[in-house]
Amino acid sequence: SQQGEEDPQALSIQEGENATMNCSYKTSINNLQWYRQNSGRGLVHLILIRSNEREKHSGRLRVTLDTSKKSSSLLITASRAADTASYFCATDGNQAGTALIFGKGTTLSVSS
């Protein structure tokens, strides 16, 4: 069952530009998380935003959450070539006993 859907599927930008990725989900949630995956590696947790929060920052990352629209966005400011990776959102589905549900991801390419 696919809960989160990221948009766009792929994004190419120049270094220094901002990158915005969006995530939509279907059911109510307790929290939403964003992860990053470098090619051939495991995922790395970036940020968790709870359902009662609207915005959260971590370094160059800014995450927003709109529970009325069931959507979230991840903004990476002043992108660097090292930000090139796939980014996934994951939701908990707000059901006891279930695990996180991941979207298909956005592949970001940052060229120098």
Partner 1 sequence: DGGITQSPKYLFRKEGQNVTLSCEQNLNHDAMYWYRQDPGQGLRLIYYSQIVNDFQKGDIAEGYSVSREKKESFPLTVTSAQKNPTAFYLCASSHDRNQPQHFGDGTRLSIL
Binding site for partner 1 (CB under 8 A): 1-2, 30-31, 33, 35, 40-45, 48, 88, 90, 92, 97-105
In angstroms, give the least distance from the CB of 14 to partner 1. Answer: 24
The distance of closest approach from Cβ of residue 50 to partner 1 in the complex, given in angstroms and rounded to an integer, is 9
Contacts of 85 (CB under 8 A, 6+ apart): 36, 37, 38, 39, 107, 108
- The least CB distance from residue 22 to partner 1, in Å, is 15
79 vs 103, which CB is nearer to partner 1?
A: 103
Residue among 3 and 79 whose Cβ is closer to partner 1? 3
Task: Compute CA 30 distance to the chain's CA centroid, rounded to the nearest angstrom.
Answer: 16
**Nearest to partner 1 of 45, 54 (CB atom):** 45
